[in-house]
């Protein structure tokens, strides 16, 4: 969620679109003594804000013992951007001023990180200030790299183009405008190869658009060839979804609804009304009248180029304890971590309590006794009024909350799950999770 480094041309075009483009508020000057902290939390997103508050609730820390570093002015509920793209929410209702979420007992550095020196238990901020710590939590999310797709920043910034993305605060509302405007032609929805936050989100945008066009009489799933609008789903992956149970359901849904599947098609360029894809058989060019893009993503440079990173640029932690494999006083979960699970806010709800428990145990010289099993969730909107609630753990094994409680098969889209996604989850997030009082399937903390 920190600003990524892109080419000068792409950066200029990105300024009005990138969700991670954060104006840096000025942090108040601090004395050198105040720059020593028991815990430094890098990142004020879903993971950082939850973890810092859960640590504070332990009652073990005094004023300024915990420092939070993030350059953002706003904290966004990003899972809600899909709802904005479907015309179901206003984006303004899904963000809060960052400084309003940071407890006064924290020391808040409204800055970017320059570099890590874990051997010295130190961090250098981008402004040159140095901080020291006893324990370090690295949870800055991942970088959304629009510039890695040629022509994409310019197309997104052009208000008159039919190219949009739910992955940006500035463009998530453009999605529904383009969907409403399209009366006929070819609509393509993309998903990149490689790491991505919320792997189900690209499909959610497509399914809601399809349902909108169906209700408007512009798309007939039974006769897609005769419909004014044609729909394609182009994914860099060989399947619709990485978990076998849900993949089978979504693949059948794709066929039943007449959506063309373009598998192992990775978007590399946008050229006017043409989308260029890399495939195993070479580049393929597809014309479009509407293009929804899920951009490329990856580790932030300040993490990737640090001693904390693995070969993929992610913070290299043990998959069950969340503790760094080399530096015992460094921890990570969420999008920036190497944890082999989907990168979602739902995953953070289960990861955060494990990290907090083990960090506190470590500080007291005790054995790490909390274990993360890879739980994550994807409330996958399949139409207006219905959600397929995918829940699973490591190995792609379903771990369904309502299946365990009530024997419900969550592979079937349901209206009750839709209200969880649309109403309950945003409410819980803004009122409890960001304050450190929500543990996902384990309920209130």
Q: What pLDDT, on a 0 to 100 scale, did the predictor assign at position 332?
A: 98
Q: SS3 for 42-106, per residue?
A: ECCCHHHHHHHHHHHHCCCCCCCCEEEECCCCEEECHHHHHHHHCCCCCHHHHEEEHHHHCCCCC
Share of the chain above pLDDT 90, in %: 88
The kind and range of the H/E element at 378 are strand 376-383
Which of the pair, 367 or 24, is modelled with greater confidence?
367
The kind and range of the H/E element at 234 are strand 229-235
Pairing of strands 143-145, 296-298: antiparallel
CA distance 329 to 324: 7
The active-site residue out of 179, 188, 267, 378 is 378
May I ask the CATH architecture of the domain 146-296? 3-Layer(bba) Sandwich (3.50)
| 198 catalytic per annotation | yes
Domain residue ranges in the chain: 35-142+299-373, 146-296
21-35, 170-184, 280-294, 386-400: least confident range:
21-35
The active-site residue out of 198, 206, 333, 387 is 198
Share of the chain above pLDDT 70, in %: 92
pLDDT at position 1 over 50: no
CA distance 214 to 309: 46
| 378 catalytic per annotation | yes
Q: What pLDDT, on a 0 to 100 scale, did the predictor assign at position 359?
A: 98
pLDDT at position 24 over 70: no
pLDDT at position 146 over 90: yes
> What does the pLDDT look like over 211-245, one tens digit per residue?
999 999 999 999 999 999 999 999 999 999 999 99
**Fold adopted by 35-142+299-373:** FAD/NAD(P)-binding domain (3.50.50)
pLDDT at position 3 over 90: no
């Amino acid at each position: 969620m920190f600003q990524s480094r892109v080419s000068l041309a792409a950066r200029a075009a990105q300024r009005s679109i990138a969700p991670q483009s954060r104006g840096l508020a000025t942090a108040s000057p601090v004395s050198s003594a105040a720059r020593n902290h028991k815990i430094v939390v890098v990142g004020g997103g879903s993971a950082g804000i939850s973890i810092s508050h859960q640590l504070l609730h332990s009652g073990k820390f005094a004023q300024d013992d915990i420092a939070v570093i993030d350059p953002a002015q706003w904290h966004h509920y990003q899972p809600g951007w899909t709802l904005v793209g479907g015309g179901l929410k206003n984006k303004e209702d899904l963000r809060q001023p960052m400084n309003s979420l940071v407890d006064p007992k924290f020391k808040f550095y409204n800055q970017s990180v320059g570099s890590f020196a874990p051997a010295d238990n130190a961090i250098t901020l981008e402004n040159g200030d140095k901080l020291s710590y006893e324990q370090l939590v690295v949870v800055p999310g991942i970088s959304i790299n629009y510039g890695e797709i040629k022509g994409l920043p310019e197309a997104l910034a052009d208000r008159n183009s039919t190219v949009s993305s739910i992955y940006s605060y500035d463009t998530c509302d453009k999605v529904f405008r383009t969907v409403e405007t399209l009366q006929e032609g070819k609509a393509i929805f993309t998903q990149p190869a490689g790491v991505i936050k919320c792997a189900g989100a690209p499909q959610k945008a497509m399914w809601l658009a399809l349902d909108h066009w169906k209700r408007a009489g512009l798309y007939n799933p039974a006769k897609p060839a005769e419909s004014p609008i044609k729909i394609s789903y182009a994914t860099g992956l060989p399947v619709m979804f990485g978990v076998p149970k849900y993949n089978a359901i979504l693949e059948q849904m794709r066929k039943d609804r007449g959506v063309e599947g373009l598998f192992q098609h990775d978007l590399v360029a946008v050229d006017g009304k043409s989308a260029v894809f890399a495939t195993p058989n070479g580049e393929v060019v597809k014309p479009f009248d509407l293009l929804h893009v899920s951009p490329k993503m990856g580790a932030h440079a300040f993490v990737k180029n640090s001693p904390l990173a693995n070969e993929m640029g992610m913070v290299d932690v043990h998959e069950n304890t969340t503790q760094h494999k080399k530096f015992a006083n460094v921890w990570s979960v969420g999008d920036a971590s190497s944890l082999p699970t989907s990168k979602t806010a739902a995953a953070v709800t289960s990861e955060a309590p494990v990290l907090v428990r083990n960090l506190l145990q470590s500080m007291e010289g005790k054995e790490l006794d909390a274990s993360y099993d890879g739980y994550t969730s994807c409330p996958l909107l399949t139409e207006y009024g219905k959600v397929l609630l995918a829940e699973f753990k490591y190995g792609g094994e379903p771990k369904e909350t309502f299946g365990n409680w009530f024997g419900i098969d969550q592979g079937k889209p349901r209206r009750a799950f839709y209200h969880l996604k649309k109403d309950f989850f945003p409410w819980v997030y803004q009122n409890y999770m960001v304050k450190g009082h929500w543990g996902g399937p384990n309920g209130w903390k």
